[in-house]
Amino acid sequence: MEAEYEETYDDGAEEVYEPEEGFEDDVADGVIDPVAGGPKPSSETQALLTHHPEIWVDYAEAITEKLLKPKRTCYPFLTQFERTKVLSFRSSQLAQGAKPFIEVADDITDVYTIARMELKAKKLPFIIKRPLPDGDYEYWRLTELEVFD
């Protein structure tokens, strides 16, 4: 009778998920990050993510490969639109409490001014993604681009 009931009615009980065998070993060995579920970042990347978690990229290996691509079609100059976007993004980070990448005098408190100083010193670790006419993208490190005021 009970078997018929279980076949006929769904009591809403969900199956319990059991992790794959060896998963705990990989987490314990530090191979897998248990929170993100992916490979654990290197110590340099982990230090950067601790201070600036907004820069996490899911497919960093794919972008790194494209950054090392020797042939590029775009000019190595930061456009006014990219400059504006970088400065506004960095200003918002600084306004929310991020630490500056450069030494700043105590009398300078304007976050936009600090962001401009960081951009001029090429200390920002941003990557610019430029669309191409064929639908592909070019990736440029901000340090590779010439910045004009």
Q: How far apart are CA 12 and CA 109, in angstroms?
A: 57
CATH code matching the domain that covers 23-144, chosen among 3.40.50.80, 3.90.940.10, 3.20.20.60, 3.40.50.10860: 3.90.940.10
In the chain, where the domains are located: 23-144
Q: What is the pLDDT of residue 23?
A: 47
pLDDT band per the 50, 70, 90 thresholds, residue 149: confident
Q: What is the pLDDT of residues 47-105, one digit of tens each?
A: 767 777 666 655 666 667 666 666 788 899 999 999 999 999 999 999 999 999 999 99
Would the pTM count as exceeding 0.85? no
Pair of tokens at residue 92: 């918002």
Q: What is the pLDDT of residue 21?
A: 57
User: Helix, strand or coil for residue 9?
Assistant: coil
Tell me the sheet residues that pair with 131. Answer: 137
